[in-house]
Amino acid sequence: MTNETVPKVKADIVYEEEHPVLYDVDGQIAYLTLNRVKYHNSQNAQMLYALDDAFFKATGDDNVKVIVLRANGKHFSAGHDIGTPGRDFHQGRDDRRSMNYNHDNKPGAEKAYVREQEVYLEFCRRWRAVPKPTIAQVHKGCIAGGLMLAWVCDLIVASDDAFFQDPVVQMGFPGVEYFAHPFELNVRQAKEFLLLGERWSAERVLAAGMINKVVPRAELESAVKAWAEKIATQPRLAMALTKQACNQIEDLQGKRSGMDMVYGYHHFAHANNTIVKGDYIAGFDGKKMSKSNKAKES
Ligand code: ZN
């Protein structure tokens, strides 16, 4: 693409971080680091487009064999941005990545349907399809939209202080937009995970098969690096084909088509929230969500 365009920024959006995703290469490993530290890496479009850029860059760099997705700050990711000054839900983009039109000037349920298709569903699918092995390096909170970022990676390594949670049923939704729950857990576990909405410890999700490895927090970085260096010795094409093989089999088992169907349910829920509650996310913001989540644990 030669015609670079700068996205329109509405006056009421305040981006606190110029670089919401950091990009570093160490040997044959690219590190993509979420960097909205002030808001626990809650995901606005600014951060997600930056992350897409970073995945694209790492994919195109022939020296990079393995990609690590990690996070600065207290938590891996608190989920989608539902209430920071940098929340840019209402902003269209001229640098859209999927074959879709802008959402910002669209009425009714169309607005969220179009936006979430691009920045949540299709972005996650793009990142899952990156032809190089990806490792999520997860510490502390990996909540709701945070799960989506970890789940699209091939391997997940977590520190022993990590916890995983999808608490969005209380907002009216059948889980987050990237509905991989019954693939990441077995169906009965997925139902418990969603219906109770509780935090699951790193040890518990390891036992359930959602992640690959749990290590003490102090060893998280070195454990991920050791795996990445080992994987980097494998031939590039064989790794790409291995990923493709596993992903295709999952899709043949219904992952992709099931997710498309549930995306419709998810947006029926957004529309119902608007009709019944007057707000597409049922009046929740970051503070209300965090308070409600804490109450669940007591
Ligand atoms: Zn949604």
Average pLDDT value for residue range 119-138: 98
Would 215 be classed as within a structural domain? yes
Could you tell me the distance, in angstroms and rounded to a whole number, from the CA of residue 25 to the centre of ligand 1? 33
Q: Looking at residue 80, what is its pLDDT?
A: 98
How far is it, in rounded angstroms, from Cα 131 to Cα 233?
A: 16
pLDDT tens digits, 202-218: 999 999 999 999 999 99
% of the chain at pLDDT higher than 70:
96
**Does the pLDDT of residue 232 top 80, yes or no?**
yes
Would 163 be classed as within a structural domain? yes
Checking 217-222 for CB contacts under 8 A at 24+ apart, the result is 217/139, 217/159, 217/160, 217/161, 219/159, 220/137, 220/139, 220/157, 220/158, 220/159, 221/137
Could you tell me the distance, in angstroms and rounded to a whole number, from the CA of residue 158 to the centre of ligand 1? 26
Cβ–Cβ < 8 Å for 95, 28: no
All residues with CB under 5 Å from ion ligand 1: 116
Would 14 be classed as within a structural domain? no
Q: Looking at residue 287, what is its pLDDT?
A: 86
Residue range(s) defining the domain that contains residue 32: 21-294
pLDDT tens digits, 32-56: 999 999 999 999 999 999 999 999 9
Would 15 be classed as within a structural domain? no
**Does the pLDDT of residue 2 top 70, yes or no?**
no
**Does the pLDDT of residue 188 top 50, yes or no?**
yes
Could you tell me the distance, in angstroms and rounded to a whole number, from the CA of residue 242 to the centre of ligand 1? 31
**Does the pLDDT of residue 181 top 80, yes or no?**
yes
Q: Looking at residue 3, what is its pLDDT?
A: 43
Would 30 be classed as within a structural domain? yes
Structure tokens at 138: 């997860």
Q: Which CATH number is 88's domain given?
A: 3.90.226.10
Would 229 be classed as within a structural domain? yes
Could you tell me the distance, in angstroms and rounded to a whole number, from the CA of residue 179 to the centre of ligand 1? 11
Could you tell me the distance, in angstroms and rounded to a whole number, from the CA of residue 149 to the centre of ligand 1? 15
pLDDT band at 289 (very low <50, low <70, confident <90, very high): confident
Could you tell me the distance, in angstroms and rounded to a whole number, from the CA of residue 145 to the centre of ligand 1? 10
- Based on the structure, what is the number of domains in the chain? 1
CA distances from 96 to 35, 93, 117, 280 (A): 22, 6, 11, 23
Exposure of 102 in the CB half-sphere (CA atoms within 13 A): 10
CB atoms within 10 A of CB 60: 8
Would 9 be classed as within a structural domain? no
Query: What integer best gives the mean pLDDT of the chain?
Result: 95
Strand 163-165 to 141-143 pairing: parallel
Could you tell me the distance, in angstroms and rounded to a whole number, from the CA of residue 117 to the centre of ligand 1? 9
How far is it, in rounded angstroms, from Cα 16 to Cα 38?
A: 8
Could you tell me the distance, in angstroms and rounded to a whole number, from the CA of residue 174 to the centre of ligand 1? 10
Residue 34: alpha-carbon gap to chain centroid: 11
Could you tell me the distance, in angstroms and rounded to a whole number, from the CA of residue 24 to the centre of ligand 1? 31
Would 11 be classed as within a structural domain? no
pLDDT band at 298 (very low <50, low <70, confident <90, very high): low
Could you tell me the distance, in angstroms and rounded to a whole number, from the CA of residue 23 to the centre of ligand 1? 28
Could you tell me the distance, in angstroms and rounded to a whole number, from the CA of residue 177 to the centre of ligand 1? 6
Helix spans in 197-254 (H): 202-208, 220-231, 236-252
Average pLDDT value for residue range 75-93: 96
